[in-house]
């Protein structure tokens, strides 16, 4: 793989009550909208570096934009996007470095799943070295670069990228532009062996990053300054890819799995008899190092959860005046007494996020599965250059 490292980190922000609470609870705040997603590097290849590819039309590179720059090109009427970045700190690392040691093994499993015995098509094309161009055919946020790279690394191919992860490909108005995004070089049979696994992974990850960036931009346009997060409702075996897409799209992943945070939902409460019993039982086992998030259905349950020691209180399926009233009262009642975050969740999507009180800044976290369930993929294709 020949590309510069892409630097992405969460800068510090100050001057907001919710961010102080988030820091104390060790929860990662959402990306500031002035750096969503943050790009530390500019394009490393000139226009002349783009491969000619197969004889296809409209393969021009568009004006380079990050996801948020593209999405804020047409802000909501009379709604400015607030600037929230106050840090000049350099990014600490790249998202690819977060991936666990096991992730490369999963890619080997996916390749084995796709070709469990004989590769008939590979026999036809043989071992000649070829060059293939990765095209993006729909607009969206580029995400999933490490997974795409690893597929072809395991097949002894090289990938050269012409865009950085997090760049916005195409135009926010949905106009069709065919963009040469990367070049894959290697034995023709190996390029074709990895093609579908690489494309499926990239398309899914980019689709989630795109939905995440759009949702966050919609919330920011409404003046929301809190955390936007996904959920644990991910595809079994594909969680690394889907959570990674959320990060690139600029939102918080929420808890990664059952072991990374305690979440007590209605079934836990019913099984133990009360919110207090559930919280105390959880704390007795998880100790001080894990946070406890409690799903509540009423103001009384929220008070009970906070009093019992919950770190996060999820106001589940509340909206409108009820949500805002409950959130405001809880913040006032426990001010200076308990540290906690309020989370709004349940049925929230990009079409209704600006309604129902979800973007009221008494709410610290909006969590939604809409950014990674039933999301549209970004359309990519890989074409071998017959002249290579």
- Residues belonging to the active site: 233
H or E segment to which residue 286 belongs: helix 275-286
What six digits make up the tokens of 279?
Answer: 């919280």
- The count of C-alpha atoms lying within 13 angstroms of the C-alpha of 289, restricted to the half-sphere facing its C-beta, is 4
SS3 199: helix
SS3 336: coil
How far is residue 316's CA from residue 295's CA, in Å, rounded to a whole number?
Answer: 6
- All residues at 6 or more sequence positions from 58 whose CB lies less than 8 Å from its CB, including other chains: 176, 177, 178
- Looking at residue 334, what DSSP letter applies? T
Backbone angles phi, psi at 346, to 5 degrees: 110, 100
What does DSSP say about strands 292-296 and 227-229: parallel, antiparallel, or unpaired?
unpaired
How far is residue 262's CA from residue 288's CA, in Å, rounded to a whole number?
Answer: 11
């Amino acid at each position: 793989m020949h590309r510069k490292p892409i630097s992405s980190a969460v800068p510090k922000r100050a001057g907001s009550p919710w961010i102080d609470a988030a820091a104390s609870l060790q929860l990662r705040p959402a990306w500031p909208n002035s750096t969503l997603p943050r790009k530390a590097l500019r394009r490393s290849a000139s226009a002349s570096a783009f491969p000619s590819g197969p004889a296809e039309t409209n393969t021009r590179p568009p004006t380079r934009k990050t996801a948020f720059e593209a999405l804020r090109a047409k802000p909501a009427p009379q709604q400015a996007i607030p600037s929230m970045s106050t840090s000049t700190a350099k990014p600490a690392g790249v998202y690819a470095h977060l991936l666990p040691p096991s992730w490369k093994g999963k890619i080997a499993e996916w390749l084995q799943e796709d070709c469990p015995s004989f590769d008939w098509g590979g026999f036809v094309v043989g071992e000649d070295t070829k060059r293939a161009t990765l095209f993006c055919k729909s607009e969206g946020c580029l995400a999933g670069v490490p997974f795409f790279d690893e597929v072809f690394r395991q097949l002894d191919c090289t990938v050269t990228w012409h865009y950085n992860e997090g760049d916005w490909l195409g135009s926010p108005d949905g106009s069709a532009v065919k963009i040469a995004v990367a070049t894959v070089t290697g034995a023709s049979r190996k390029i074709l062996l990895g093609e579908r696994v690489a494309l499926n992974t990239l398309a899914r990850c980019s689709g989630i990053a795109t939905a995440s960036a759009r949702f966050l931009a919609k919330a920011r346009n409404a003046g929301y300054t809190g955390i936007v997060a996904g959920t644990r409702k991910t595809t079994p075996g594909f969680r690394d890819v889907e959570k990674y897409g959320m990060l690139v799209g600029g939102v918080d992943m929420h808890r990664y799995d059952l072991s990374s945070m305690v979440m007590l939902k209605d079934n836990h409460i019913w099984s133990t008899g009360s919110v207090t019993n559930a919280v105390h039982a959880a704390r007795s086992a998880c100790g001080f190092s894990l946070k406890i998030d409690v799903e509540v259905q009423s103001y009384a349950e929220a008070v009970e959860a906070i009093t019992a020691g919950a770190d996060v209180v999820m106001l589940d399926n509340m909206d409108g005046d009820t949500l805002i009233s409950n959130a405001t009262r809880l913040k006032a009642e426990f001010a200076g007494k308990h540290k906690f975050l309020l989370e709004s969740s349940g049925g929230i999507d990009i079409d209704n996020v600006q309604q129902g009180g979800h973007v009221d800044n008494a709410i610290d976290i909006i969590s939604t599965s809409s950014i990674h369930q039933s999301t549209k993929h970004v359309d990519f294709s890989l074409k071998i250059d017959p002249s290579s």
